[in-house]
Structure 1
């Protein structure tokens, strides 16, 4: 399981890093075209916005992997070990359900709906950029299941990024 988790995490780190690097390059391009060439690039500004959304959602999946999502440990730590396990599992189940309903189910619906609309500057279907919603939903669901397995096996510490 650890090898599987580490493989997915490495891929996510790479995609998030590539997204960030592309955003930096495209933003520099925007500044160059706007202030030096006096001919602003509209397509790069639009692409940076979509890449930012991708990077944010991929980063949220990485946070889910590390069990770094929102929780209140000061309250959980006041309970006995079995209750702590139960509460930690409950938190993961809530994250799983959120990912399944909002990101996967809602993401598939909005992606399908948006495939008929084109971006203004890039001329590609907007749904292409929305694919990240169900993708990250599935990744979050995988990570929450792996987290529940870890919790039940007594490995409750937060995961370190790979």
Structure 2
């Protein structure tokens, strides 16, 4: 694992755990203010929604990078040799294509359009483009991980669903 990949992993873990911690506080406060104070907070409701978007998108990118994403690996398991290489390269290519076209290209278009129109969130009054930045940012992370997966595939034949070494029984994945 390269220093750059460790850095990307660290930044994603830091952002995800921080956002998730704030998300939990927002939801707890929302429940408390709604049922105990009988005056629900609109700010924490909106903040929790936006943080959930960030946690979900960045969590998906991080999970992909850790090779723990949900996958149907029927073809890579039943093929061998050049066919297995081609299947794994196709999988990586499909993920990269989606990340590049939909998440990065489309996401940047969405961000620029919402910033140009001046759309702001109702309660927090922050530009919605800042919320939507999660889409291209996670797309960039996914694309980076796809590049590392392809390098692993070329170097040692390891596909995007294959861990470096399988964990021992009872030992959690690292």
Shared topology, TM-score over 0.5?
Answer: yes
Match 1:139 to one of 141, 145, 152: 141
Deviation at 1:120, TM superposition (A): 0.6
Matches within 5 A, 1:34-45: 34-45=34-45
> Is 1:83 the equivalent of 2:83?
yes
- Does the residue aligned with 1:77 lie in a helix, a strand or coil? helix
TM-score (norm 2): 0.86
Alpha carbons 1:66, 1:159 under 8 Å: kept = no
Deviation digits for residues 75-103 of structure 1, max 9, x if unmatched?
32222222212211111111111001000
Instruction: Give, in whole Å, the separation in 2 of the partners of 1:132 and 1:153.
Output: 31
> Is 1:158 the equivalent of 2:163?
yes
- Does the residue aligned with 1:153 lie in a helix, a strand or coil? helix
Deviation at 1:155, TM superposition (A): 5.2
TM-score (norm 1): 0.92
Deviation at 1:4, TM superposition (A): 1.2
Alpha carbons 1:92, 1:148 under 8 Å: kept = yes
Instruction: Give, in whole Å, the separation in 1 of the partners of 2:164 and 2:24.
Output: 28
Q: Can you give the 5+ residue segments of structure 1 that lack an aligned partner in the other structure?
A: none
Deviation digits for residues 128-158 of structure 1, max 9, x if unmatched?
1000111111111111001100011115123
Aligned match of 2:73: 73
Deviation at 1:69, TM superposition (A): 3.9
Q: Can you give the 5+ residue segments of structure 2 that lack an aligned partner in the other structure?
A: 166-172
Instruction: Give, in whole Å, the separation in 1 of the partners of 2:109 and 2:65.
Output: 25
Across the two proteins, how many residue pairs are aligned to each other?
Answer: 162
Matches within 5 A, 1:13-92: 13-92=13-92
- Does the residue aligned with 2:121 lie in a helix, a strand or coil? coil
**More contact order relative to length (CA 8 Å, sep ≥ 6):** 1
